[in-house]
Amino acid sequence: MTDTDAQYGTDDGTRITDEVIASFAGAKDERFRELMRSLVRHTHAFVRETGLTEREWHEAIAFLRACGDITTDTRQEFILLSDVLGISMQTIAVNHPTRANATESTVFGPFFVDDAPRIDCGGDMSGGAVGEPCWVEGTVTDVDGRPVPDARIDVWEADADGKYDVQYDDGRLAGRAHLFTDSEGRYAFWGLTPTPYPIPHDGPVGALLAAADRSPMRASHLHFMVAAPGFRRLVTHIFVDGDEYLGRDSVFGVKPSLVTEFARRDSGDATPDGRVVDGTWTRARFDIVLMPESY
């Protein structure tokens, strides 16, 4: 061992890790210190474990730069990256563990819009979007089965062409709405039978999926966000039972408890509210159980 080795330790890579971790010792915010130290520990271990080459490191930097370049107010490539790496779902697992009989959470996605139109119970959220009509009904209750009246339910979904309204450049507002549960915690609305669609894959995240021979498709789903005073806000989807992408959703969002039967009905079958439907339609039931805020 040389004098220099004795002073600084042999550099198998762990010395620099220790030094960088120590450099955060003075951070005033304890949580920041914890996060940065852990980040350094894990990223340094990744570099050592994989023997990351300088060329690969440059490519990774160029990839992150490309994510930044394509990101706009309406296109968030870093969230997409987090989604396809399962980090979004991992964060949900940590922050929203399934407790008791409460409804499970899944990814928020980039297509929510504030202030979607209000519809009455039994109203139509499709806003003229193309697709097969679907009647969705259910209740919102607490974990003891007591109804939650006046819960706000936001719903949003892609049309049968696989696009959300905000992905068209004509300013349309369709396939989204909000409504409130009635005095007995019930809700119902007309929407569209969900169909599979690809996440935006014309950017660096799409290239990453292609390099991994992974599909950009999401399993067919309908988004819900449910909020009521005294309860934790729930962000979730329902997925279509039998959908071909249930086992390979590109963002790992599927949870078995959220897979729902969308029962197909014929043109002449009576609808729950007497609406006349020209063609087939489907019917789904989703009973929602909210966690108390203080669980």
Q: Which residues bind ligand BEZ (CB under 6 A)?
A: 80, 83, 107, 109-111, 199, 218, 251
Does the protein bind Fe ion through residue 138 (CB under 5 A)?
A: no
Select 9 or 162, whichever has its Cβ closest to ligand BEZ.
162
As a whole number of angstroms, the longest Cα–Cα distance in the chain is: 90
Select 107 or 134, whichever has its Cβ closest to ligand BEZ.
107
Select 140 or 209, whichever has its Cβ closest to ligand BEZ.
209
- Report in angstroms how near the CB of residue 86 gets to ligand BEZ at its nearest: 11
The tokens describing 40, both together, are: 């350094």
| Structural Rg of the chain based on CA atoms | 24
Q: Which residues fall within 8 angstroms of residue 26, CB to CB, at 6 or more apart? A: none
Which of Fe ion, ligand BEZ, none is residue 107 near (CB under 5 to 8 Å by kind)? ligand BEZ
Of the candidate residues 17, 109, 209, 254, the single one contacting Fe ion (CB under 5 A): 109
Per CB under 5 A, the segment of 50-58, 77-85, 94-102, 104-112 that binds Fe ion is: 104-112
The tokens describing 204, both together, are: 């660096």
Among candidate residues 176, 183, 75, the one with its CA nearest the CA of residue 139: 183
Per CB under 5 A, the segment of 41-49, 94-102, 107-115, 260-268 that binds Fe ion is: 107-115
Tell me how crowded residue 211 is: count the other CB atoms within 10 A of its CB: 8
- The phi and psi torsions of 188 (rounded to 5 degrees) equal -160, 150
Among candidate residues 185, 161, 140, 157, the one with its CA nearest the CA of residue 262: 157
Which of Fe ion, ligand BEZ, none is residue 228 near (CB under 5 to 8 Å by kind)? none
Which of Fe ion, ligand BEZ, none is residue 199 near (CB under 5 to 8 Å by kind)? ligand BEZ
- Report in angstroms how near the CB of residue 156 gets to Fe ion at its nearest: 7
Look at strands 197-198 and 186-192 and give their pairing: unpaired
Which of ligand BEZ, Fe ion, none is residue 110 near (CB under 5 to 8 Å by kind)? ligand BEZ
Instruction: DSSP letter for 25, please.
Output: T
**Helices 87-95 and 77-84 sit at what angle, rounded to 10 degrees?**
80
- Report in angstroms how near the CB of residue 189 gets to ligand BEZ at its nearest: 19
Distance CA 123, CA 166 (A): 21
H or E element in which residue 239 lies: strand 234-240
Q: In this chain, which residue has its C-beta nearest to ligand BEZ?
A: 109
Select 107 or 119, whichever has its Cβ closest to ligand BEZ.
107
- Report in angstroms how near the CB of residue 261 gets to ligand BEZ at its nearest: 20
Contacts with Fe ion, residue ranges (CB under 5 A): 109
